[in-house]
Amino acid sequence: MEFIKCTYPDHADAILDIFNEAIVNSTALYDYHPREPESMVNWFKTKEIGNFPVIGAIDRSNQLLGFASYGTFRNWPAYKYSIEHSVYIHPNHRRKGIGLALMQQLILAATEQQYHTMIGGIDMTNTSSIALHQQLGFTHAGTINHAGFKFGRWLNLGFYQLLLETPFEPVDGE
């Protein structure tokens, strides 16, 4: 397995396939309908504008096994040191340590970019993702009960956070 920087031309289709599988078959995304290929243009553009990484894990044949990224948590200035992250693994490659490895890479990237709080919104029935985050030191910060409705049931959204040692010199008011 190798880590790469995902790009629109090389990885948009594979990322879209992973997103859409999660939309159709899970509560990892609180979305109802598969995304259209055009949606990836803005998704990658937003990552580029925000200088947010899209880290992929590929195998020897360059197949994308999974990816991780982060973006703006809330769009007000005082949240500038907080990010919300996500990690998705192709269904054929789950439970092989890829999610853990991608999250470790993402934590390194967030530290290098001087963020302080990584936040993951996880459906409370997704015990695998919760266990992964806890293994990495994330703590449960709260749950919003009945935050979504999908597959004929109410969904509870848990927030898990990891506090980083960065930034070294946080700046107020900018």
Question: Which residues have a Cβ under 8 Å from the Cβ of 43 and sit 6 or more positions away?
Answer: 15
Domain 2-163 is found in CATH 3.40.630.30: yes
| Residue 11 phi, psi dihedral angles, 5° rounding | -130, -5
Predicted TM-score (pTM) of this structure: 0.92
Question: In this predicted model, what pLDDT tens digit does every residue of 99-119 receive, in sequence order?
Answer: 999 999 999 999 999 999 999
Question: In this predicted model, what pLDDT tens digit does every residue of 42-84 receive, in sequence order?
Answer: 999 999 999 999 999 999 999 999 999 999 999 999 999 999 9
Closest CA to 26 of 94, 103, 78: 94
- Partnered with residue 104 across adjacent β-strands are none
Q: How many CB atoms lie within 10 A of CB 11?
A: 21
